Amino acid sequence: MMSMPGTIAFDEYGRPFIILRDQEKQTRLTGNDAIKTHILAAKSISSTIKTSLGPKGLDKMMVSGDGEVTVTNDGATILKLMEVDHEIGKLMVQLSQSQDDEIGDGTTGVVVLAGALLEQAESLLDRGIHPIRIADGFELAAQCALKHLDSIAEDFPIDVNNKEPLIRVAMTTLGSKIINKCHRQMAEIAVDAVLAVADLEKKDVNFELIKTEGKVGGRMEDTCLVKGVVIDKTMSHWQMPKVLKDVKLAILTCAFEPPKPKTKHKLDVTSTEDYKELRQYEQDKFLEMVKQVKDAGATLAICQWGFDDEANHLLLQQNLPAVRWVGGPEIELIAIATGGRIVPRFEELSAEKLGTAGLVREISFGTTKDKMLVIEECHNSKAVTILIRGGNQMLIAEAKRSIHDALCVVRSLVRDSRIIYGGGASEISCSIAVAKEADQLSTLEQYAFRAFSVALESIPLALAENSGLLPIETLSELKSRHVAEKLPSLGVDCMLTGDSDMKNHHVIESLHSKKQQIILATQLVKMILKIDDVRTQHD
């Protein structure tokens, strides 16, 4: 037998055949064995994240390869930083990510629900039910749960003059976060930020207009909402004025420096006169640039690029305050807020391209040397900035994630203003409705319906467990009260107040968010149940 380089060989008759490398090192799983390995991987991820659920849930500390530490209980962030190797684990990461992208909240709950559904699917497989029948049954049960959610949802008033209901929803979201020591303040900031940029007629919120800036130092209570833009820069020269009123801004993406000779040839300066001439030319050119900016009527130049000390000194001499090295996204936000146009060349600068702002000021923080620039009272006041303060970078990063969740929930309510009650109340109510529907079915799908009903109970069970209550006892009591009192707002009393009615505690969730959780979890579980062939290679 003669062989050739690569994986093709020929037998003694010259017929080619393919040699599969490392065939003995490969294992192949098919059928229910494959599905069970998927379920095991998904369950392990779900059980890891389950302890983070609810107001008494625990945080996770993630350490990256280069030693950077993140402490969070945001489901999507935990999974993103976990560096999961297993393929099904990666699907779970994508599941929480899609919930984060679509809604922004409920990223832990969606993973817990998917893990519980797969756990139930495993026991159904052991009873000999085909995975396709399980998947189809779950799909029908999810539709039944969604229909029931519509029936228990309540309309929610969105009124700019009455923000209290919205603040309560935002507080529900922030209840499980590290920043709940200034619970109400953060909720108010999130609601004010969304309402400042929301278009209530079109039921839309442009998140591009809300910027979140973090600055180490101060207390978390010092966090504030600025009706304008905050940039982490200062005036380019320390002698420039720190407060400017009725400002006309020139927003430049061209550099404050003389044009470079566009030639590949070398320029030799052979005498002192030539050098002086060149220097004078540079200065004249620069003064011409400053004149163009001032002639347009600008009283402040915002520049994307830097300029040297000489240029800086000349700007001071010419009484033109300037800010240098302002990043691209900030430049865009300043342009939107002030109604100005971004100018790429000095020749194109004109009065109508300038932005307007009532006040531009430098703010300093306590005893630190840190300063930031605030552009307020803008022509288009829709752009807002949330300035977060905190003791260290880790706290600020977690506060940013928490406020993002609150912003997303308020946005969901602007889009669809119906709500349900939290604390596991909606899950228990749906679980009872799905179990009731199962009793009406005569087909094999009734087993999947009952399994779906049990899986929905995993969220209230986890909430009770994380709060230090007896999970089964708490759930049994709540279920019997749901049936007897017909109150869909009865949930787990996580704060141990003695009252299980979430309506009294104002624990409210967006209906859109809860529906999305059920839809995404069911879709992922269906996908996993339909993968029955896995080939893995061992090193």
**Backbone torsions φ then ψ of 48, nearest 5 degrees:** -65, -40
User: What value does the mean pLDDT of the chain take?
Assistant: 86
* 368 labelled catalytic: no
* 108 labelled catalytic: yes
Burial class (CB in 10 A: 0-12, 13-18, 19+), 122: middle
* 532 labelled catalytic: no
Which of 1.10.1740.10, 1.20.1260.10, 3.40.50.2300, 1.10.560.10 would CATH assign to domain 27-155+421-537?
1.10.560.10
Q: What is the pLDDT of residue 6?
A: 47
The CATH code for residues 228-380 is 3.50.7.10
Burial class (CB in 10 A: 0-12, 13-18, 19+), 139: middle
Q: What is the pLDDT of residue 226?
A: 86
pLDDT digits (tens, 9 = 90+) for 149-197: 999 998 887 878 888 888 888 888 887 787 777 888 999 999 999 988 8
The CATH code for residues 158-227+386-416 is 3.30.260.10
Q: What is the pLDDT of residue 364?
A: 77
The conformational region for residue 90 under phi > 0 = left, psi -120 to 50 = alpha, else beta, is alpha
Torsional sign, CA 273, 275, 281, 284: negative
**389: β partners:** 215
SS3 444: coil
Q: Would you kindly state where each structural domain of the chain is located, as residue ranges?
A: 27-155+421-537, 158-227+386-416, 228-380
Active-site position among 51, 70, 72, 74: 74
pLDDT digits (tens, 9 = 90+) for 301-320: 898 888 877 778 888 888 88
Q: What is the pLDDT of residue 25?
A: 60
Strands 508-510 and 322-323: unpaired
Confidence of residue 284 (pLDDT cuts 50, 70, 90): confident
Active-site position among 108, 173, 234, 522: 108
What's the pTM? 0.80
- Nearest C-alpha neighbor of 402 from the set 53, 96, 72: 72
Mean pLDDT of 231-252: 87
Which of 118-127, 282-291, 437-446 has the lowest average pLDDT? Answer: 282-291
Report the alpha-carbon distance of residue 265 to residue 423 in Å, rounded: 73
- Indicate whether 489 pLDDT > 60: yes
DSSP letter (8 states) at residue 178: T
Active-site position among 72, 107, 173, 338: 107
Residues in the chain: 539
Q: What is the pLDDT of residue 189?
A: 93
Active-site position among 405, 474, 493, 522: 405
Report the alpha-carbon distance of residue 326 to residue 524 in Å, rounded: 43
**63: β partners:** 69
DSSP character string of 29-96? EEHHHHHHHHHHHHHHHHHHHHTT-STTPPPEEEE-TT--EEEE--HHHHHHHS---SHHHHHHHHHH
CA distances from 430 to 156, 336, 512, 516, 517 (A): 20, 45, 15, 14, 13
pLDDT above 90 coverage of the chain, percent: 29
Which of 1-5, 10-14, 94-98 has the lowest average pLDDT? Answer: 1-5
